[in-house]
Structure 1
Amino acid sequence: MGSLEMVRVLQVSATLSSLDGGPAEAALNLNRALRAHGVDATIVSTDQHSAGQLPDERRRYITASGVAAELYRAHWPFGVKASIRMALALSRHVRASDVVHIHGFYLWHAVLAATYAQFHRVPYLIQPHGVFEPYQEQQSTRIKSLFMRLGGRRALRLASAIAFDTETERRVAVLPRCARAVRRVIIAPAPRGQRPKARDIGGVSPGPHILFLARIAPKKRVDLVIAAMPEILRQFPGARLTIAGDDAEHLAESALQQSPAQARAAITCCGFVEGVAKDELIDSADVYVLPSENENFGISVTEALAAGLPVVISKNIALWQQVREHEAGIVIDQLDAADVAQAVCTLFSDAQRLHTAGNAALDLGRILFSADATREQAMNAYETALGMTPALH
Structure 2
Amino acid sequence: MRILHIIHSIDPRSGGPSHALRGLVQEQVRRGHQVSILTTNAQSAEPWMPDDQFRERMNNDPAFSGAELFIARGYGRTRPVARFTWTPQAYRWLRRRLADLDARPDIVHIHGVFSHLTTFAPRLARRFGVPYIMRPAGTFAPRCMALGRTAMKRWFTTLFVAKDLRLAAAVQATTPAEKDELREQFGLNNVVVIPHGVAGVKDAQTDAPAARRALNIPERAKVLLYLSRLTPKKRPDWVIQAASKLLSEYPDLFTIFAGPDAGAESQLAAAIASSGLNGQVKRFGFVTGDQKRQLFEAADVLVLPSQSENFGVVVVEAMAHRLPVVVTPGVASHIYVDASGCGLTVEDSVDALTDGIKKILQADKTELGQRGREYVRQHLTWIVVSEKISEVYAAIIRNQRTRRRNRSVNQQIRLTTK
Task: Report if TM-score (shorter chain) is over 0.5.
Answer: yes
Cα distance in 1, alignment partners of residues 184 and 140 from structure 2:
6
Q: Aligned to 1:275, which of 278, 284, 289?
A: 289
Asked if residue 9 in structure 1 is aligned to residue 23 in structure 2, the reply is: no
Cα distance in 2, alignment partners of residues 125 and 135 from structure 1:
24
Q: Secondary structure at the match of 2:247?
A: helix
Q: Aligned to 2:396, which of 376, 380, 385?
A: 385
Q: Aligned to 1:245, which of 259, 267, 278?
A: 259
Look up the match of 1:146: 155
Considering Cα pairs closer than 8 Å and 6+ residues apart, tell me whether 1 or 2 has the greater RCO.
1
Look up the match of 1:124: 132
Q: Aligned to 1:365, which of 376, 387, 394?
A: 376
Cα distance in 1, alignment partners of residues 63 and 158 from structure 2:
40
Look up the match of 1:74: 74
Cα distance in 2, alignment partners of residues 248 and 154 from structure 1:
31
Cα distance in 1, alignment partners of residues 116 and 64 from structure 2:
28
Q: Secondary structure at the match of 1:163?
A: strand
Cα distance in 2, alignment partners of residues 123 and 141 from structure 1:
30
Q: Secondary structure at the match of 2:144?
A: helix
**Alpha-carbon deviations, 1:327-375, whole Å to 9, x = none?**
1112112321x3222222222223xx22111001101221222111210
Look up the match of 1:168: 177
Look up the match of 1:40: 34
Segment drifting more, 213-222 vs 317-326: 317-326
Segment drifting more, 341-350 vs 375-384: 341-350
Matched letter for residue 266 of structure 1: Q
- CA distance 1:278–1:57, shift in 2 (3 Å): farther
Look up the match of 2:352: 339
1:21-100, aligned counterparts within 5 Å? 21-49=15-43, 50=45, 51-52=47-48, 53=51, 55=54, 58-59=57-58, 62-63=61-62, 66=65, 68=67, 69-77=69-77, 78-95=82-99, 96-100=104-108
TM-score, normalisation: structure 2: 0.83
Look up the match of 1:156: 165
Segment drifting more, 147-156 vs 9-18: 147-156
Segment drifting more, 59-68 vs 27-36: 59-68
- CA distance 1:254–1:195, shift in 2 (3 Å): farther
Q: 1:279: Cα distance to partner?
A: 1.8
Segment drifting more, 165-174 vs 285-294: 165-174
Size of the aligned set, in residue pairs, is: 379
Q: Identity across aligned pairs (percent)?
A: 26
Contact 1:202 1:355 in 2 (8 A): no
Asked if residue 259 in structure 1 is aligned to residue 275 in structure 2, the reply is: yes
- CA distance 1:156–1:64, shift in 2 (3 Å): closer
- CA distance 1:144–1:247, shift in 2 (3 Å): closer
Stretches (4+) displaced over 6 A: 200-204
Q: 1:300: Cα distance to partner?
A: 1.1
- CA distance 1:57–1:222, shift in 2 (3 Å): farther
Look up the match of 2:416: none
Contact 2:170 2:190 in 1 (8 A): yes
Cα distance in 2, alignment partners of residues 150 and 381 from structure 1:
28
Q: Secondary structure at the match of 1:87?
A: helix
Matched letter for residue 111 of structure 1: T
Cα distance in 2, alignment partners of residues 367 and 383 from structure 1:
23
- In our comparison, the structure showing a higher alpha carbon Rg is 2
Contact 2:196 2:380 in 1 (8 A): yes
Contact 1:134 1:173 in 2 (8 A): no
Asked if residue 289 in structure 1 is aligned to residue 303 in structure 2, the reply is: yes
Cα distance in 2, alignment partners of residues 145 and 63 from structure 1:
37
Q: 1:35: Cα distance to partner?
A: 1.0
Look up the match of 1:4: none
- CA distance 1:248–1:188, shift in 2 (3 Å): closer
Unaligned runs of 5+ in 2: 213-218, 405-418
Q: 1:272: Cα distance to partner?
A: 1.5
TM-score, normalisation: structure 1: 0.88
Matched letter for residue 382 of structure 1: Y
- CA distance 1:23–1:94, shift in 2 (3 Å): farther
Q: Aligned to 1:137, which of 145, 148, 161?
A: 145
Contact 1:223 1:255 in 2 (8 A): yes
User: CA RMSD for the aligned pairs?
Assistant: 2.6
Look up the match of 1:106: 114
Cα distance in 1, alignment partners of residues 156 and 138 from structure 2:
17
Segment drifting more, 297-306 vs 44-53: 44-53
